[in-house]
Amino acid sequence: MHQWRRTPSWPDLELLSATTLEARALFNTPNTPTLHFSTLPRAMAQEFKLKDLTSLSLSPGSKQEVEVDGVEGGKVLLVNTGGRIQAMGAKCTHYGAPLAKGVLTADGRVKCPWHGACFNTSTGDVEEAPALDALPVFKVTERNGAVYVTGDESAIKNSRRQPNLSCAGASAADEKVVIVGGGSGALGAVEGLREKGFTGGITVISNEGYYPIDRPKLSKALMTDLSKLQWRDKGWFDSGNVEWVDGEATAVNFGERKVTTKNGQNISYTKLILATGGIARTLPLNGFRVLGNIFTLRNVHDVKAIVDAIGDKGKKVVIVGASFIGMEVANAICKDNTVTVADMSKVPLERVLGEKVGAGIQKAVEAKGVKFHLGGGIERAEPSASNPSKVGAVILQDGTKLEADLVILGVGVMPATDYLRDNSVLRLEKDGSVQTDENFQVSGLKDVYAIGDIATHPYSGPGGEGKLVRIEHWNVAQNSGRHVANHIVNPTQNRPLNIPIFWSALGAQMRYCGNTANGWDDVIVDGDPAEAKFVAYYTKGETVVAMASMGRDPLMSQSSELMRLNKMPSKKHIQDGVDVMSVAA
């Protein structure tokens, strides 16, 4: 097994979570870029006995992890949905979480306890991000006082399977899907198209200089090793008959159905998916645009620059913005550097998590040595006395001087849609995003979709009421890509409801599901955020519209499924002490 390389030797695992399996997985679980689309000859299926199991007595709605005799480290998950017992891979294909600790639903889904990846219990297919690979499923039989599964030994060991994909070459008469952007949404669209049997041409245009990466690890762990960050490699795309174009889209001619790149290439399409993601915001204040060692964090190049600037540690780092990016970076580098966070809010993450939860998280991060200057604005950046070309301090509006060897900006992102700004056909929203319908089809344009950070779309989850929202989550982007792929192949099929999910490394792992873009008027907190063990339910009237938790797995996964199924307890029920985990999903 490949090991994640730390560059440099920090951050230590304890910065993310002291001893948890998940924290180790963040650094040590390699991505799987070697799985190709092409269907290779399969090993002949064998029958394996399940250890210490004499009968299939699993009750409906239950799941059980069982060891497999004769397979070193081999385990399967037995699930009973609707009275049918099925055997499948035991570990989530994202970071390897044990699915036995996840959530099983009556409509045949098993959900990871960590990050919301979801799989179909009958087929093993991916139902929701962030998983990319499906789970293997195995025939299970009972005879003579023992239980057996039939399958490939490698599938049992790896708890993942190659997708069954049709990858025939496309002729000139076939449809051609062009995807502008190379991130989470683009990868979800590519995988979804091929999995659903689309055999036309697929072209991806990306200006990042690498194949899709596990972007959340950039801020959570400041990883820079591309070979380990990339989810898929060149061979994977080649084997799926996917053309990858390294270039920047500069214009789209919707009438002629062509995308123009910076080098003058014109790429034709029959279907177009706009998935260009976000651009990190900067500060239009004195010094911030001219001094060196002031960084944003959005891609691998940014992280490499930050890592190089920190060098041998012991640096004074000022982080402007108590956002999730800012807080994650502070958490990742504070052990060996002097870190100060400055923000206008009263507490970190106030807009999303509220004052009580934000204050608790602030205490937890302060205990690691991070200093905070909150409730005031930034005035300017001053040059260093020893090197006037680089930053030496950040001056707050109250006159406070924060000395800095480097500054990291975590002040949000904006839609990367400059290539559409002067388009005469498509009108951007005020924030630069693209308005779509519930299927992510761009309003007023045929065969054009927008997904991920650039898409403003109707939200129908709890409290959403179909109002337009723009959600900057990794899972949302990948899920929207998969849905667009399905809509291209099966245009009459209704879009399933996916509840937005994200997670953050804030000393411990925080989970969040739902959406508060349309407001919340109360929060019910059980536990202590400062101790990294709590759950917070965000309510609007009697409706729980979102929840956040630390140290309470799989409560986030359970809540997201109850929200999806319209079974989430009301505010009053939660105040009365209803156990959310006891509600059948």
356: phi then psi, degrees, rounded to nearest 5:
-65, -50
What is the pLDDT at residue 280? Answer: 97
How far is the C-alpha of 513 from the C-alpha of 389, rounded, in Å? Answer: 43
* 305-344 pLDDT per residue, tens: 999 999 988 999 999 999 999 999 999 999 999 999 999 9
Residue 451 has pLDDT above 60, yes or no: yes
Assign domain 294-411 to its CATH superfamily: FAD/NAD(P)-binding domain (3.50.50.60)
Band (pLDDT 50/70/90 cuts) for residue 580 is: very high
pLDDT at residue 1 tops 60: no
Residue 349 has pLDDT above 70, yes or no: yes
Cβ(76)–Cβ(61) below 8 Å: no
Model confidence pLDDT, tens digit, residues 182-209 = 999 999 999 999 999 999 999 999 999 9
Residue range 130-172, pLDDT digits in tens:
999 999 999 999 999 999 999 999 999 999 987 666 555 544 4
Whether pLDDT at 21 is above 80: no
Q: How confident is the model at residue 24 (pLDDT cuts 50, 70, 90)?
A: low
pLDDT digits (tens, 9 = 90+) for 545-558: 999 999 999 999 99
- pLDDT score of 25 more than 80: no
Q: Where are the alpha helices (DSSP H) in 43-102?
A: none
Round the average pLDDT of the chain to a whole number and report it.
92
The residue ranges of every structural domain in the chain are: 46-158, 176-279+415-489, 294-411, 501-582
Helix 474-489 / helix 184-195 crossing angle, nearest 10 deg: 30
Cβ atoms of residues 495 and 541 within 8 Å: no
For residues 187 and 240, the answer to whether their CB atoms sit within 8 Å is no
Yes or no: say if 274 and 454 are a contact pair by the CB < 8 Å rule: yes
Alpha carbon separation from 213 to 210, 227, 250, 331, 450 (Å, rounded): 8, 9, 23, 22, 20
Give the CATH number of domain 501-582.
Answer: 3.30.390.30
Give Dmax (Cα) for the chain.
Answer: 82
User: Which segments of 306-418 are extended strands (E)?
Assistant: 316-320, 338-343, 371-374, 378-383, 391-396, 401-403, 406-409, 413-415
Q: Give residue 219's identity as a one-letter amino acid code.
A: S
Provide the pLDDT for residue 228. 87
Does residue 502 carry a pLDDT above 60? yes
Indicate the residue type of 424: S
Rounded CA separation 324/456 (Å):
21
CA–CA dist 312, 337 (Å, integer): 10
Cα 67–chain centre separation: 30
pLDDT value, residue 12: 37
pLDDT digits (tens, 9 = 90+) for 26-80: 665 544 544 445 444 455 789 999 999 999 999 999 999 999 999 999 999 999 9
Residue 533, both tokens? 């063990």
C-beta atoms surrounding 493 within 10 Å: 12
What pLDDT, on the 0 to 100 scale, is given for residue 168?
53
Query: What phi and psi values does residue 24 have, to the nearest 5 degrees?
Result: -65, -40
Give Rg (Cα) of the chain. Answer: 24
Instruction: Write down the residue that tokens 């992280």 correspond to.
Output: 303
In this predicted structure, the answer to whether residue 250 has a pLDDT above a threshold of 60 is yes
Sheet holding 46-49, edge to edge: 46-49, 146-151, 137-143, 84-89, 75-81, 63-67
Question: Binning pLDDT at 50, 70 and 90, where does residue 10 land?
Answer: very low
Helices marked H in 169-323 — which ranges?
184-195, 216-221, 226-229, 234-239, 300-310
Instruction: Give the relative orientation of helices 350-366 and 324-333 as an angle to the nearest 10 degrees.
Output: 10
Task: Give the range among 84-88, 355-359, 414-418, 505-509 with minimum mean pLDDT.
Answer: 505-509
Considering the chain, what percentage of its residues have pLDDT values greater than 90? 87
pLDDT of residue 279: 97
> In CATH, what is the architecture of 176-279+415-489?
3-Layer(bba) Sandwich (3.50)
**Beta strands, E only, 481-579:** 501-505, 509-514, 522-528, 533-540, 543-550
Superfamily of domain 46-158, CATH level 4: Rieske [2Fe-2S] iron-sulphur domain (2.102.10.10)
Per cent of the chain over pLDDT 70 is 91
- Give the model's pLDDT for residue 259: 98
Give bridge partners of residue 523 from the DSSP assignment.
538
For 85, 395, 425, the CA distances from 202, given in Å and listed in that order, are 38, 50, 24
Distance, in Å, from the CA atom of 158 to the CA atom of 75, rounded to the nearest integer, reads 9
End-to-end Cα, the chain, rounded Å: 36
pLDDT at 400 over 50: yes
Domains 176-279+415-489 and 501-582 share a fold: no
